[in-house]
Amino acid sequence: MDEQSLKKLRDWFKKNAAKLPWRPADLDAPRDPYAVWISETMLQQTQVSTVREYFIRWMKRFPDVETLAKANEEEVFKYWQGLGYYSRARNILKTAKTVSQFPNSRKELEALPGIGAYTAGAILSLAYHQREAILDGNLVRIFSRLYALDFLPTESRDAAEIYWNYAREVADSPKAYMHNESLMELGRIVCKVKNPDCANCPLRNACRAALENRTAEFPPVKKQAPKDWHGTVLIVESADHKILAVHGGQKFFKNQFTLPHFESPRNATAGLPAQAERYVDADKVLSVENIGKFRHNITVHKMECDVLYIRLNGKATAPASSEIKWIRREQAQDFFANNFSLKALERLLHRTDKP
Ligand code: SF4
């Protein structure tokens, strides 16, 4: 980021910095490393508004690392209760018992329980005014948008290095402490996840995503690993050749008519599954037959489905609710609007051994 942008960022921060119990009025004053450590640990995954009171209470009871080191786990948990992630409180206590003074090097800090690259960077820059970088969710979002990075740092070592290099560039200044904190604040109140307020952002003239009107594209949505899903699709046919369609109450296609389906284990035992009894009276079932399988992908689900063909010995009766319809067999392919149902129907319609 060029010096002009960094200056705009600092000026914006000086004007807009929220009053927070862990932030002294003099934004250039070095902080107490203990207070930075406690506040940054509390802030991981928890909103600033929630942390405020917890931090004040904590600092009254445990104002420094020596006091904390003498406390027992039970009491520490009591002061942490409501912030969740008790492992953090446990690590804080463990660290307090091992250090009498806070180390001032990244290597030593990161060796302590519960202190990772982010917290170490925050302590070193905010408390010791060292040129140390930080990278949290706010900074990732800002860098992704500023430089139109269409990947996340979690995707690979190289990807993480690219983000960290941008973070180091910002921190390579005697004002690293202010650059780091300004970016965290900017991410929290301006460059928000949804609807970033670009019109009021000090970086708008340097931001590729904003200049190209593509802020919604960055950061990219985390690619989810495909999930295997095995299910059963029911084709229920009445004696007068009508096929049952359902609307709602299904795993997929909640807003349209589909064939009934549910998750089931591979090699499910033959016979009428209990889930089918929601739609058919077991006494009216003439036959139940597995007529094949098909594969289908929906969102992250890699699906494999068995198609169960259930023939009834009676005619289709008037449906008890608007969520059920009987469709004439010859009209079924035109009726269903999802490929999932159509693939299942194909197993029936293209069968050579038709009943
Ligand atoms: S201009 Fe918009 S998208 Fe870019 S950093 Fe600022 S708020 Fe975020």
Could you check whether the bond before residue 219 is cis, i.e. omega within 30 degrees of 0?
yes
Which residue's structure tokens are 């284990």?
265
Site of tokens 């003439």: 286
How much distance in Å is there from the Cα of 95 to the middle of ligand 1? Answer: 37
Q: Which of 143, 146, 170, 188 to mutate to test the pocket of ligand 1 (most atoms within 8 A of CB)?
A: 146
Assess whether pLDDT exceeds 90 at residue 270.
Answer: no
Q: pLDDT-derived band of residue 268, with 50, 70 and 90 as boundaries? A: low
What pLDDT score was predicted for residue 227?
A: 85
12-21 CB contacts, 8 Å cutoff, 24+ apart: 12/182, 12/186, 12/202, 13/178, 13/181, 13/182, 13/185, 13/186, 16/185, 16/189, 17/181, 17/185, 18/48, 18/185, 18/189, 20/48, 20/52, 21/52, 21/55, 21/56, 21/59
pLDDT of 51 above 90: yes
Distance CA 355, CA 335 (A): 22
CA distance 132 to 105: 10
Residues 6+ apart with CB under 8 A from 118: 40, 44, 134, 135, 136
Q: Is 124 in the pocket of ligand 1 (CB under 6 A)?
A: no
User: How far, in Å, CA of 242 to CA of 234, rounded?
Assistant: 13
Closest by CA position to 121, among listed 133, 129, 131, 138: 133
Ligand 1 geometric centre to CA of 115 (Å): 29
CATH 1.10.340.30 segments of the chain = 3-217
Start and end residues for every CATH 3.90.79.10 domain found in the chain = 227-349
Distance of alpha carbon 322 from alpha carbon 58, whole angstroms:
57
With H, G, I as helix, E, B as strand and everything else as coil, classify residue 40: helix
Q: Which atom of ligand 1 is nearest to the CA of 201?
A: 6
Whether residue 355 is predicted with pLDDT greater than 60 in this model: the reply is: no
Whether residue 139 has its Cβ less than 6 Å from ligand 1: no
Q: Does domain 227-349 have CATH number 3.30.930.10?
A: no
Ligand 1 centroid, distance to 280 Cα (angstroms): 56
Distance 72 CA to ligand 1 centre (A): 45
Q: Please give the CATH topology (third level) of the domain spanning 3-217.
A: Endonuclease III; domain 1 (1.10.340)
CA–CA gap between residue 232 and residue 259 (Å, rounded)? 10
pLDDT digits (tens, 9 = 90+) for 310-352: 999 999 888 777 888 999 999 999 999 888 999 999 999 887 5
Tokens describing residue 7:
């200056």
Residue pLDDT, tens place only, 189-216: 999 999 999 999 999 999 999 999 999 9
Q: How does pLDDT run across 97-132, given as a tens digit for each residue?
A: 998 788 999 999 999 988 999 999 999 999 999 999
Ligand 1 atom 4 nearest Cα: 207
Q: Identify the pLDDT of residue 165.
A: 94
Q: Are 231 and 262 in contact (CB under 8 A)?
A: yes
How many A from CA of 127 to the centre of ligand 1? 28
CB neighbours of residue 336 within 10 Å: 22
Longest dimension (CA), the chain: 84
pLDDT in tens, 116-175: 999 999 999 999 999 999 999 999 999 999 999 998 998 888 889 999 999 999 999 999
Distance (Å, rounded) from C-alpha 41 to C-alpha 97?
Answer: 17
Residue-wise pLDDT tens digits, 6-44: 999 999 999 999 999 999 999 999 999 999 999 999 998
Please state, in angstroms and rounded to a whole number, the distance separating the CA atoms of residues 86 and 91.
9
Token pair recorded at residue 239: 């004696």
Burial of 134 (0-12, 13-18, 19+ CB in 10 A): buried
- Does ligand 1 have an atom closer than 6 angstroms to the CB of 196? yes
Residues annotated as part of the active site: 40
Atom 1 of ligand 1, residue of closest alpha carbon: 204
CA-to-CA distance for 142 and 155, rounded, in angstroms? 17
Q: Which atom belonging to ligand 1 lies closest to the Cα atom of 187?
A: 8
What's residue 329's pLDDT?
A: 93
pLDDT band for position 221 (50/70/90)? confident
**Residues 290-306 pLDDT 10s:** 999 999 988 778 899 99
- Contact 204 CB / ligand 1 (< 6 Å): yes
Nearest alpha carbon to residue 8 among 178, 188, 219? 178
